[in-house]
């Protein structure tokens, strides 16, 4: 396998190491392997972009890390180690989702930003009530202190006049402000890691730009490790330091962002990048396409999952064997084409 070291300079510590994560959804119609051996590293203070189309498992990954997988989904294997090789090391896969430890991780050590901020907010309470509660969940402070902290959080996320907005109900806010509140909620427990699941997909383009620049600013100011899940290659190019490309529940390529865009290694990444409409296009410029559609994760093709749509198949091997996964901590592609002949 063609590999290069992940970072160009001394690699920062790993904040979260996911290894061979496997998640299944079991129903009467059969077993859907939503994740099938997913591994990646999230480095401290960096942004890891996870990109893929529908059914690739990017959201399931986020929910698995926070142990928020609902019935009938179950984690069937793998480890998710927070702060590996430090005294704070903890394997999230081994915890009971309802345990106190896991609840401390959720919102405490790891914050979550949703696509639709109303998922995280209740319509019955003011923004302040919910923020204060979130702050007090993770810090033993008085209500007055928590309120100050909440106002500060609102100011941090760029909400104008936080002293008055703190008493607003979520439905009184615009979509952009609501997502800012969603970010404030994710930051309430002072997390080291923030997982953002399609945080701008529901927003307009100018609002998206504001939220992305806010996220970048907060990351730098608070030295947060950001895991950004998106389907938008533009957002990846703008935000990510490293990128994990997923397809049908597997990681197909891992690379630093510039390398990924300059020299994609996996045929899927290559095809995907060529298929993205560009704001720099010539008039009436055609796109190169990937044939077919993403199969349902329940009917994953044999061998390399991408082979039926792949324009660069090597031969029968693509249909018979699953290519080796990208070794953790390294850049590379899970593809027979890039494997060095023995």
Write out the residues near other proteins by the rule CB under 8 A: 28, 53-54, 174, 176-177, 204-210, 212-213, 231-239, 257-258, 261, 271-273, 275-281, 283-294, 301, 308-309
Helix 175-187 × helix 143-156 angle, to 10°:
130
Separation between Cα atoms, residue 84 and residue 333, nearest integer Å: 24
Q: In the complex, what is the shortest distance from the CB of residue 153 to other proteins, in angstroms, rounded to a whole number? A: 20
Closest separation in Å from C-beta 216 to other proteins: 9
Q: Is 18 or 214 the residue whose CB approaches other proteins more closely?
A: 214
Task: Report the candidate in 72, 75, 48 with the shortest Cα–Cα distance to residue 64.
Answer: 75
- Say if residue 231 is exposed, middle or buried (CB neighbours under 10 Å; 0-12, 13-18, 19+): middle
Of 61, 10, 329, 100, the residue nearest 197 (C-alpha): 61
CB 78 within 8 A of CB 60: no
Q: Tell the smallest beta-carbon distance from residue 146 to other proteins (Å).
A: 28
Q: How many CA atoms lie within 13 A of 29 on its CB side?
A: 8
Nearer residue to other proteins within complex by CB, 53 or 190? 53
Q: Which residue has the tokens 């699941």?
A: 197
Rounded-to-integer distance, Cα 269 and Cα 260, Å: 8
CA-to-CA separations, 121 to 101, 127, 130, 165, 306, in angstroms, rounded: 23, 8, 7, 15, 38
Nearer to other proteins, 39 or 61 (CB): 61
Q: Could you tell me the smallest distance in angstroms from the CB atom of residue 149 to other proteins? A: 26
Nearer to other proteins, 194 or 272 (CB): 272
Q: How far is the CB of 157 from other proteins (least distance, A)?
A: 14
When the beta carbons of 71 and 286 are compared against other proteins, the nearer one is: 286
Burial class of residue 99 (count of CB atoms within 10 Å of its CB; 0-12, 13-18, 19+): exposed
Q: Smallest distance, Å, CB 145 to other proteins?
A: 31
Question: 47-72 burial by CB neighbour count: b if 16+ within 10 A, else e?
Answer: bbbbbbeebbbbbbbbbbbbbebeee
Nearest residue (CB) to other proteins, 4 versus 54: 54
The minimum distance between CB 231 and other proteins, in angstroms, equals 6
Which lies closer to other proteins via its Cβ, residue 90 or residue 202? 202
């Amino acid at each position: 396998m063609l590999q290069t070291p992940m970072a160009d300079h001394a690699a920062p510590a790993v904040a979260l190491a996911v290894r061979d994560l496997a998640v299944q959804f079991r129903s009467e119609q059969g077993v859907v392997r939503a994740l099938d051996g997913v591994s990646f590293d999230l480095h401290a203070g960096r942004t890891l972009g996870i990109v893929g189309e529908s059914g690739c498992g990017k959201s399931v990954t986020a929910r698995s890390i926070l142990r928020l997988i609902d019935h009938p989904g179950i984690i069937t294997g793998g480890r998710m180690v927070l702060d590996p090789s430090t005294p704070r090391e903890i394997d999230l896969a081994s915890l009971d989702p309802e345990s106190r430890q896991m609840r401390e991780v959720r919102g405490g050590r790891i914050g979550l930003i949703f696509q639709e901020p109303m998922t995280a907010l209740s319509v019955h309470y003011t923004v302040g009530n919910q923020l204060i509660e979130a702050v007090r969940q993770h810090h033993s402070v008085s209500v007055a202190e928590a309120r100050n902290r909440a106002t500060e959080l609102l100011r941090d996320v760029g909400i104008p006049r936080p002293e008055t907005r703190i008493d607003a109900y979520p439905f009184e806010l615009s979509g952009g402000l609501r997502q800012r509140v969603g970010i404030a909620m994710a930051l309430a427990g002072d997390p080291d890691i923030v997982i953002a699941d399609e945080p701008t997909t529901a927003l307009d383009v100018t609002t998206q730009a504001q939220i992305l620049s806010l996220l970048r600013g907060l990351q730098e100011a608070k030295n947060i490790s950001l895991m950004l899940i998106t389907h938008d290659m533009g957002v990846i190019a703008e935000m990510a330091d490293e990128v994990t490309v997923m397809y049908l529940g597997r990681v197909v390529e891992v690379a630093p962002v510039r390398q990924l865009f300059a020299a994609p290694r996996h045929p899927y990444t290559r095809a995907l990048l060529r298929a993205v409409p560009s704001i720099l296009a010539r008039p009436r410029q055609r796109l190169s396409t990937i044939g077919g559609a993403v199969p349902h994760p329940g009917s994953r093709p044999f061998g390399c999952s991408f082979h039926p749509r792949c324009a660069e198949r090597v031969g029968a091997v693509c249909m018979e064997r699953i290519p080796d996964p990208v070794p953790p901590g390294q850049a590379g592609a899970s593809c027979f084409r890039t494997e060095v002949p023995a």
